Amino acid sequence: MLSKIKLNYLPCRCVPFLFLLLIFEILVNLILTFVDFPKFDFSLVIFIKMLLVMFVQTIIVGLHMLLPYSLYLILLPSKLHKSKIDKIFTYIIFFVFTSINFFSLVSEVIFWSEFECTFNFIAVDYLVYTREVIGNIVQSFSLPLIVLGVLLVGILGTFMFRKKLVCESPVPRLAERLKYSIVLVLLCVLSFFSFDIKMSELVGENTYNVEVAKNGAYSFFSAFLNNEINYKDFYIVNSKKSNLDILKDKLKQDDAEFLDENSIARRISPAEKEIKANLIIVLMESLGMKYFDKSMTNNNDIVPNLRKLAAEGMFFPKTYANGTRSVRGIESVSLGAPPLPGASIVRKRNNGNLYTIGSIFREKDYETKWIYGGYGYFDNMNEFFRVNDFEVRDRMNTASIKIQHETVWGICDEDLFTMCIEEADKSCEKNKPFLQVILTTSNHRPFTYPENKIDLPPYKSGRQGAVKYADYAIGDFVKRSSSKPWFDNTIFVFMADHGPSSAGKLKLNPESHVVPLIIYAPSIVKPAEINTPISQIDAVPTVLGIMKFNYVSRFYGKDVMKSDYESTCFVANYQHVGLLKPLTASFVTMSPGRKIECYKNSEKKSDVAAFQSQIDEAIAYYQEASEWRTNMKIK
């Protein structure tokens, strides 16, 4: 095909790079489409739009990648063009180019298998933590085979294109070469300012089609450049007074008194005496409600211990997680705030001295501890808790524990819970009540765990085995804790940080956010299954209600047990944020560009006016929460 293309010298030398890039992009699109074939729309119009978006984004990426090579072609003296040195150097450059892009192709397929989307803000976040990412790849896949494959493709690609890399066209003079380079730079600048990732939305409503149409590198750098999103600059806003009027109406309850007209701060004053119980909150990695459905797990019961705890405690099977990352679950539990666009507050700058669950319990003379089995520098978790009234315990504090098993993400859940029991014992010895916030890691790729714990082998069972082991570790944790003097005065909260996947045909898919919430305390909480849909940010206010705490609340969540509770749930995925009313199946989403979309029973509706009250409510929650550096700061 390339032999029929007659081009001037510089374009001729660049075309093989662009041609290879397009081949790889078509290949990865075919693979991803095959992987999730039934989920795609295949109308001719959508297919043409997908090709157009793919082509434009790939060419833009190619033009930017070719800038260094173009500089080489300009600066190389005319007499050295087409020389042996020029050919060898070009072969090396093309080999590196081919290898990098093929590795990107493999990485994109792996990333899709985990998240069912192309590279996005998750990939950007992960790239910061190279130790965890590289370790996860090494422990999950055969790295030598991947490296060998990348090298072989690099060699084969270079061999196949070797005759086209140094073309026969006459070498232009320096001035002529400069003209071509100026054109290339102008094209790069024009494409940077004229196109963005929103062009992918031209494909249609089906998220799978949109994601496959994206070029992975283009999507990655778009997420990198848009990591911090100012709500007021990109989303619909209303007046502060209007927002506060709505929020105060939604957050009012019989034992709450708002403290001033400029915030949602309110004094919660239950009539009953406080229960000064210990509180252990376990955020379970990726353990969605789907695992309670045997039809989703090959008819196997892989969460028998959680089922038992749910039957003996207060069980909320319709809890909607805020987001798709652990930091969103942490944000929900610690701050009780809706999931803002961009990075989580946990990862943002100037996030210390905030009003958190830690500040409430510290005020009541509790010991407050954040406990994580990995290295808590990941996602800024340790620093966030350290500057917000928590003592930090992570992998660095496990000297007293005999480690049974660990992955790059941390020690296995049994060992993590051993650490928690030790810390609880220390508090008990000092006669101090305690709060622990814990994040598990065993249900995370590479999905490995200790031998001989469950009836599924640890290196062959994938996520299903990891979930069953995580469930086993929780059952063992409760059993070991039951012999402790602090057990009868302790409330255990088990809730997933997020579901195992957020994928679906829409930008936001609330059904994939449903997670279990179990409040277990045999001496304090009576068994009950509450099927009212609730938000993840309602969990802590509900527990504080059970404990009859008298406190000042700045939470956006509410005690579910109050008679005037209204199901209002928040789901988000980086740039897209939504407010769901599960009982009426109405869903409002907001996106950059001040866009609003409305859905009823998962079908998009054009009559936005019919959703106006819900839209105003969504604006009120997200706009007010976006001022967290002011509203959530402890005065």
pLDDT, tens only, 431-480 = 999 999 999 999 988 899 999 999 998 888 889 999 999 999 999 999 99
Task: Map tokens 């001729």 to a residue.
Answer: 12
Judge whether residue 129 has pLDDT over 60: no
Q: 182: pLDDT confidence band, cut at 50, 70 and 90?
A: confident
The bridge status of strand 314-320 relative to strand 528-529 is parallel
3-state SS, residue 587: strand
Tell me which of 65 and 544 has the higher pLDDT.
544
Per-residue confidence (pLDDT) for residue 503, from 0 to 100 = 64
Per-residue confidence (pLDDT) for residue 611, from 0 to 100 = 96
Q: How far is CA 588 from CA 117, 342, 377, 582, in A?
A: 22, 18, 35, 11
Report residue 423: phi and psi, to 5°.
-65, -35
3-state SS, residue 266: strand
Report residue 278: phi and psi, to 5°.
-75, 155
Q: Are 476 and 320 a contacting pair, CB within 8 Å?
A: no
Tell me which of 521 and 183 has the higher pLDDT.
521
Per-residue confidence (pLDDT) for residue 137, from 0 to 100 = 67
Per-residue confidence (pLDDT) for residue 240, from 0 to 100 = 95
Q: How confident is the model over 323-382, as pLDDT tens digits?
A: 988 999 999 999 999 999 888 999 888 899 999 999 999 999 999 999 999 999 888 999
Judge whether residue 33 has pLDDT over 90: no
Judge whether residue 187 has pLDDT over 90: no
Q: Residues 6 or more apart from 152 whose CB is under 8 A from it?
A: none
Q: How confident is the model over 599-632, as pLDDT tens digits?
A: 999 899 989 999 999 999 999 999 999 999 999 9
Q: 2: pLDDT confidence band, cut at 50, 70 and 90?
A: very low
Going along 307-399, which residue ranges are E strands? 314-320, 367-372, 391-393
Q: Are 226 and 120 a contacting pair, CB within 8 Å?
A: no
Structural domains of the chain sorted by starting position, each given as residue range(s) with its CATH number in brackets: 2-225 (no CATH), 276-561 (3.40.720.10)
Tell me which of 167 and 560 has the higher pLDDT.
560
Q: Are 69 and 17 a contacting pair, CB within 8 Å?
A: yes
Q: 63: pLDDT confidence band, cut at 50, 70 and 90?
A: confident
Q: How far apart are CA 392 and CA 389, in angstroms?
A: 10
| Structure token digits, residue 583 | 């009982």
Q: 128: pLDDT confidence band, cut at 50, 70 and 90?
A: low
Mean pLDDT for the chain overall: 89
- Residue whose C-alpha is closest to residue 17's, from 66, 87, 56: 66
Judge whether residue 117 has pLDDT over 60: yes
